[in-house]
Amino acid sequence: MELKDLKKAWIRVSDESSGKQQLNEEQIKAMLGTRTKSLLEKIERNIRTGFVVILVIIAAMLAVDYLTVAPSGMTSDGNKVPRWLFFLDLGLNLLIISLFVTFLFHYWKIRQQCKGVCDLRHTLTKTIGILTLYQRIFTFLLAIILLISATGFAAGYYTSIHNHNTSEGFFLSDLLIGILLLILISGLLFYLIRWVFRRVYGNYLRGLRDTFAELNEVEEGDD
């Protein structure tokens, strides 16, 4: 059977089939009412929620620092808090905020590439772009959180040694164990979260990239 004959048969079959599946207005409304969010809508929601949560945490931490520790400049055990610790804290918080601002800027730029209903190429570019950006911010944020833990550990250890004048032997063994634990926990956490992300979005992103490559291969073909 030639393709043109198949075409006729296809139209008959698919028309009959879709005719059977017709929904009335009420059913369509009900479907719209119960729909779940699309992937990009979920990503947008996650970003908004994440941004608000991080801002609240940063604000709370700053409030605690400046309202309780900063006025006296002393820790709970009566030792002086080094000034560089405040700057370190502030720097890391600014790093998180600037990461989000950068992300929002790039996100907005990707969204601006094509408004409304785009063709397939632009839809793919937009979806791949947003997902890649989401993956990057996720990794950066994770790296910053691990950096915060590391600096927190280092700062705490330094001030403890500085204020209590401990012996060198105690200092070295504790420091080594602390560093090893930190590396282990950070590494595990980093790979675990990255693995989860890849498991959830990895195949999807790969599929989109393959489709995009296929689209380009068509455009670059020379048959």
Partner 1 sequence: MDIVGANQGIIHKVCNIYCDDEEDRNDLFQEILAQLWKSYPSFRKESKFTTWMYRVALNTAITSFKKIRRQPGFNRLCDQNLQIADEMSSLEMDENIALLKQAVSKLSGIEKSIILLFLENKNYEEIAEITGITQNYVRVKMNRIKKKLKLLMTAED
Q: Please state, in angstroms and rounded to a whole number, the distance separating the CA atoms of residues 23 and 27.
A: 6
Stretch that binds partner 1, among 89-97, 146-154, 184-192, 214-222 (CB under 8 A): 214-222
- What's the chain's Rg over C-alpha atoms? 27
In this chain, which of 29, 45, 109, 198 binds partner 1, going by CB under 8 A?
A: 29
Site string for partner 1, 131-170 (x = CB under 8 A): ----------------------------------------
The smaller minimum CB distance to partner 1, of residues 187 and 207, is found at 207
Q: Please state, in angstroms and rounded to a whole number, the distance separating the CA atoms of residues 209 and 212.
A: 5
Site string for partner 1, 86-125 (x = CB under 8 A): -----------------------------xxxxxxxxxx-
Q: Is 127 in the site for partner 1 (CB under 8 A)?
A: yes
Strand partners, 80: 74
Q: Is 204 in the site for partner 1 (CB under 8 A)?
A: yes
Transcribe 47-91 into DSSP letters. Answer: HHHHHHHHHHHHHHHHHHIIIIITTTTB-TTSPBPPHHHHHHHHH
The answer to whether the CB of 89 falls within 8 A of the CB of 64 is no
Q: What is the DSSP letter of 222?
A: -
107, 101, 161, 102: which is closest to 132 by C-alpha? 107
In this chain, which of 32, 77, 167, 168 binds partner 1, going by CB under 8 A?
A: 32
Q: Is 76 in the site for partner 1 (CB under 8 A)?
A: no
Q: Please, what is the minimum distance in Å from the beta carbon of residue 115 to partner 1?
A: 7
Residues touching partner 1, count (CB under 8 A): 53
In this chain, which of 71, 108, 169, 218 binds partner 1, going by CB under 8 A?
A: 218
Instruction: Retrieve residue 13's tokens.
Output: 């079959």
Q: Please state, in angstroms and rounded to a whole number, the distance separating the CA atoms of residues 163 and 166.
A: 8
Stretch that binds partner 1, among 46-54, 137-145, 158-166, 208-216 (CB under 8 A): 208-216
Q: Please state, in angstroms and rounded to a whole number, the distance separating the CA atoms of residues 155 and 81.
A: 10
Q: Is 45 in the site for partner 1 (CB under 8 A)?
A: no
The answer to whether the CB of 90 falls within 8 A of the CB of 171 is no
Q: Is 17 in the site for partner 1 (CB under 8 A)?
A: yes
Where are the extended beta strands (E) located within 14-96?
none
The answer to whether the CB of 73 falls within 8 A of the CB of 80 is yes
Binding site for partner 1 (CB under 8 A): 1, 3, 5-7, 9-11, 13-25, 28-29, 31-32, 34-35, 38-39, 115-124, 127, 203-204, 206-208, 210-211, 214-215, 218-219, 221, 223
